[in-house]
Amino acid sequence: MPHTLEWKVRLHLFEDDEGTTKAHLILDTGTAELTGHGTAHCHPADANVPEIGDELAAGRAMNDLARQLQKTAERDIEGMGAPSRQTHGRETAGWPT
């Protein structure tokens, strides 16, 4: 049976007074929300290019969110009775990740 959903993502970027860019990423699935966080720091010797800090912080927030989403899926799979197994040093269950 075909399955179609739309998940909404909101990304908020802001820089503090010390030059740290912070990203706050919210995934709304309609039934749950997950939040990812990421930061980037400009080295004092580097040119201040805000776009690079935005890209790094956003990418790190997306990685954080991706890890959370995979862990959630693994717990859901285990909750359906699929046995856990070790693969390449990572905990996985049922479906390959």
Per-residue pLDDT band for 87 (boundaries 50, 70, 90) equals low
Q: What are the φ and ψ backbone dihedral angles of 27, each rounded to 5 degrees?
A: -105, 120
Per-residue pLDDT band for 91 (boundaries 50, 70, 90) equals low
Per-residue pLDDT tens digits for 5-59: 999 999 999 999 888 999 999 999 999 999 999 999 988 898 889 999 999 999 9
Per-residue pLDDT band for 65 (boundaries 50, 70, 90) equals very high
pLDDT at position 96: 59
Q: What is the value of pTM for the model shown?
A: 0.79
Domain at 8-80: CATH code: 3.30.160.240
- CA distance to 7, 29, 37, 61, 85, per residue, from 25 (Å): 13, 13, 6, 6, 30
- Name residue, tokens 């040093």: 89
How is the chain split into domains, by residue range? 8-80
